Amino acid sequence: MTIPTPPDPTVAETIKHLPHAITAYLRETQPGRKANFHDLLPAFAEDATVLDDGNTYTGHDEIRHWRETAASEYTYTEELTHAEKLDDTHWVLTHHLEGNFPGGEVDLIYRFTLTGDVIQSLEIAP
């Protein structure tokens, strides 16, 4: 049995200062929400990469396909438990997920790299 980590008390303050691209990503990828790709894709650079579950997706077409597939595969809830700005271009967020996926519970770390005001790369890993 895993003892849940209590949410970071600074998360509420940190998320107030997230860049628009990360905020758009978080809004459009909420569990159970059908992503509005007119809002999601402009958050990413044209040549952005996403690394998720051992797969790399490059560019808007592959990122769109990844989100369409990922959003329909499992049902889950998600809670943002940690948010940290490392420097002007790097942010790390941790989400606690519970759902009908293998293992039923996981903490995922989202590592964002920004170029200007868009996401250049996103790595998602436990």
pTM of the predicted protein model: 0.87
Q: What does the pLDDT read at residue 125?
A: 96
CA distances (Å), 109 to each of 5, 103, 113, in order? Answer: 14, 17, 13
Q: What does the pLDDT read at residue 63?
A: 97
pLDDT exceeds cutoff 60 at 59 = yes
Question: Worst-scoring range by mean pLDDT, 6-15, 43-52, 70-79, 90-99?
Answer: 6-15
In angstroms, the first-to-last Cα distance of the chain is: 17
Kindly indicate the confidence band of residue 9, based on its pLDDT and cuts at 50, 70 and 90: low
Q: What does the pLDDT read at residue 3?
A: 46
Q: What does the pLDDT read at residue 5?
A: 54
